Amino acid sequence: MQKKIGMHCFVSGKVQGVWFRASTQDKAKELGLTGWACNLPDGRVEVIACGESDKINELHEWLKQGPRLAKVMDVTREELEWQEHERFEVK
């Protein structure tokens, strides 16, 4: 069984107004992850995701591209302890 971990990311670039949070939610649900994504006042998107380590890594790779209209410039990643979330939400 895969180890469950958490990931905290900040995604910068053209990531607001391009369906980034909703697309992240769709991808996270597809991967069976929980957590949330929210827009920040400085134009970045913040993402917390929890689940199996291989699925977390897959989401991290996806965040580097994002949805079709996004232009991701940078993704910072920090490992977190696994947290309990009911689902993946858009905040």
Q: Distance (Å, rounded) from C-alpha 64 to C-alpha 53?
A: 17
> Active-site residue among 39, 68, 77, 87?
39
Q: Measured in Å, how far apart are the chain's first and last C-alpha atoms?
A: 30
68 among known catalytic residues: no
Catalytic status, residue 87: no
Task: Pick the closest to residue 66 from 5, 17, 15, 9 (CA basis).
Answer: 15
- Assess contact for 21 and 86: CB atoms under 8 A: no
User: Hey, which residues are catalytic here?
Assistant: 21, 39
